[in-house]
Amino acid sequence: MSLLGIEGMRFHAFHGFYKEEHLTGNNFVVDVYITAALENANETDKIRDTINYETVYAICKRVMNEQYDLIEKVAGEIISHLLSLLIEGDHLKVRVRKLFPPMPGIVDSTFIELEKIK
């Protein structure tokens, strides 16, 4: 098994519980980790034998362009769409962080991390 990771995908998006967040937006960071049998790519050097990073990014971007109240929903939508790239037994982990969320004090970020096995 191999671990494929894409870390630090940054988006300005309009997810949030508060009305103001839907208007002004916030900055988010998305990390995706996929554990899958990608060893053939070591031998063939062909993109067809791995998971295309650009496809993963495009899916994340598409979900981030939607609008949801909760980052839990955002992460769930990303997982739901990424599962189509995987085969049975593959493992997927997605972390969505909201930077400097509206809180009554200084908070660097909040995050949700979801995992799924196909």
CATH of 2-117, one of 3.30.1130.10, 1.10.10.10, 3.30.428.10, 3.40.50.300: 3.30.1130.10
Q: Is 37 helix (H, G, I), strand (E, B) or coil?
A: coil
pTM, 2 dp:
0.94
Which burial class, exposed, middle or buried, applies to 92 when counting CB atoms under 10 A from its CB (0-12, 13-18, 19+)? buried
Give the angle 101-29-31 at the CA atoms, nearest 5°.
135
| Known catalytic residue at 98 | yes
Tens digit of pLDDT for each residue in 20-73? 999 999 999 999 999 999 989 999 999 999 999 999 999 999 999 999 999 999
Banded model confidence at residue 118, pLDDT cuts 50, 70, 90: very high
Whole-number pLDDT of residue 8: 98
Question: In the chain, what are the domain boundaries?
Answer: 2-117
Banded model confidence at residue 103, pLDDT cuts 50, 70, 90: very high
Q: Of 2, 15, 110, which is closest to residue 60 (Cα–Cα)? A: 15
Banded model confidence at residue 18, pLDDT cuts 50, 70, 90: very high
Catalytic residue among 19, 98, 116, 118: 98
Whole-number pLDDT of residue 78: 98
How many angstroms from the chain centroid is the CA of residue 8? 10
